């Protein structure tokens, strides 16, 4: 399956960023996040076990916080388990 990508970059005040993050939180709660641009959609289903990484960095007056979520879709995991192992000698 071809890789799908979505990138959104913006400069905003914290109030607006809060509203963006809230939209994502609503998506997490519904277990469905739809991201679209140029009529192409990426639909993500955050379900089951998710890995959350929060990284922060402060150097002089420059600050960074990154929040990363990663998971594997359930169906893909099941697919892996159902594979038959063949041993030939």
- Contact residues for other proteins, defined by CB under 8 A: 8-13, 19-20, 23-24, 26-27, 33-38, 41
Distance in Å, CB of 66 to other proteins, minimum:
17
User: What value does the CA radius of gyration of the chain take, rounded to a whole number of Å?
Assistant: 18
**SS3 assignment for 30-75:** HCCEEEEECCEEEEECCCCCCEEEEEEEEECCEEEEEEEEECCCHH
Distance in Å, CB of 75 to other proteins, minimum:
22
In terms of CB distance, is 26 or 72 closer to other proteins?
A: 26
In terms of CB distance, is 38 or 80 closer to other proteins?
A: 38
In terms of CB distance, is 8 or 82 closer to other proteins?
A: 8
Residues 6, 35: Cα–Cα separation, whole Å: 7
């Amino acid at each position: 399956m071809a890789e799908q990508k979505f990138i959104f970059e913006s400069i905003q005040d914290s109030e607006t960023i809060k509203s963006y993050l809230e939209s994502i939180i609503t998506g997490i709660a519904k277990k469905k996040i739809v991201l679209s641009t140029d009529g192409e959609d990426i639909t993500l289903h955050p379900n089951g076990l998710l890995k959350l990484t929060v990284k922060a960095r402060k150097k002089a007056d420059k600050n960074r916080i990154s929040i990363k979520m990663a998971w594997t879709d359930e169906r893909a995991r099941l697919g892996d388990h159902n594979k038959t192992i063949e041993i030939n000698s």
